[in-house]
Amino acid sequence: MKIETKTAHFSSPLYLESGRILEPYEIVYETYGELNEEKSNVVLVCHALSGSHHAAGVYEGERKAGWWDELIGDGKAIDTKKYFVICANVIGSCFGSTGPMSNNYPSQEPYRLRFPVVTVKDMIRAQMQLLSSLGVYHLRAIVGGSMGGMQALQFAVDYPNLADDIIALAATYATRPWTMAFNKVAMEAIRRDPRFKHGNYEINDFKEEGLDGLAIGRIAGHISYLSPDSMDEKFGRNYVSNDGLFELFGRYEVERYMEYNTNNFSRIFDPLSYLYIVKAINTFNLTRGYDSLHDAISRIKANVYLISFTSDYLFFPSEMEHIVKMMKRNEQHCSYLKVQSDYGHDAFLVEVDKFEDNIKDILK
């Protein structure tokens, strides 16, 4: 599989939903496979909160594959022998695209909290500029899970003629208070950490030790991504063998797992980016800019394929089903798959075997 990582530079202004302007800006993106002469084999993949443009394959000298490597590649469901796959890092992220720790042109100082609030609409508008710069004006499909699924649905509404198929997994039509509450834990933990310094930290301040506030907030996130059954199966009531049961800070295996994963995460993910992307998730609402959800959904012309997971407690299956019912009433093309899973919200990343055939059939 041919992998290329590039940076696109844009000097023209990006007009944001807030009324502010981002200028200039950059988007880091990765491509897989080969673009055909007609440019008719393009599949756009959209990433979730903590994801990046590195969706598949392994970089030279590294072991860790891209976050959806099971789904994307030669002979896989999104077959890179047939399709030219593009995955762009969203604006606001910390993996190369313009975000809060990027320099606030023309100064050499980072934006920090002067960075404008961005929304999912803004993220896809930036990706439209990227596609235009590549001479790509029509997509075979747009695929994404969680926040990536939000982007896929927003594309379907805002750009009805852009794609043949929209495939959204573990997503919703609007973020509900339950999810916002989990996100609030992370936001407050970051803001109240003294080392956060109200956003006035330096770029490499957390490279070695991480930020405790982000680590704590990520624990809340992890709980929302999993499910009681998946935790029972993974950890049970097992106790860390070298911790004493009657030591106050002795740990069960689930506690050690949370510590390890969240501490590592806080070393590689920028806390300001986390705040900005969580804000984008919280403000997501397909209705905004339209008279009603029905009005927004009625604009969709693409074939829509929705995939939910029974144990997803972040974006419940009923939220996807609401879109299905509305599209069916409108006699729009919509197909729905509810996957039986104990893995919670993270099932769209870890149980690819349960829906890969479905995606392969769609792309056929």
What is the full per-residue pLDDT of the chain (364 aa) written as tens digits? 889 999 999 999 999 999 999 999 999 999 999 999 999 999 999 999 999 999 999 988 888 899 999 999 999 999 999 999 999 999 999 999 999 999 999 999 999 999 999 999 999 999 999 999 999 999 999 999 999 999 999 999 999 999 999 999 999 999 999 999 999 999 999 999 999 999 999 999 999 999 999 999 999 998 999 999 999 999 999 999 999 999 999 999 999 999 998 999 999 999 999 999 999 999 999 999 999 999 999 999 999 999 999 999 999 999 999 999 999 999 999 999 999 999 999 999 999 999 999 999 999 8
* DSSP states along 285-305: BTTTTSS-HHHHHHT--SEEE
Closest CA to 171 of 289, 302, 336, 28: 336
Provide Rg for the chain, Cα atoms. 20
Q: Helical H runs in 192-246?
A: 212-225, 228-235
User: How do 25-32 and 84-88 pair as beta strands?
Assistant: antiparallel
Closest CA to 80 of 24, 35, 38: 35
- pLDDT of the residue at 62: 82
239 DSSP β-pair partners: 252
Question: Distances from the Cα of 321 to the Cαs of 94, 188, 271, 310, in angstroms?
Answer: 33, 32, 34, 12
Dihedral angle of Cα 204, 205, 210, 213, to the nearest 10 degrees: -130
Domains and CATH numbers, the chain: 3-175+285-363 (3.40.50.1820), 179-280 (1.10.1740.110)
Integer Cα distance of 164 and 304 in angstroms: 9
Sign of dihedral through CA atoms 10, 12, 17, 18?
positive
- pLDDT of the residue at 61: 81
- pLDDT of the residue at 74: 96
Q: What is the largest CA-CA distance in the chain?
A: 68
Provide the annotated active-site residues. 146, 312, 345
Burial of 313 (0-12, 13-18, 19+ CB in 10 A): middle
- pLDDT of the residue at 79: 98
Tokens 């063998």, located at residue: 241
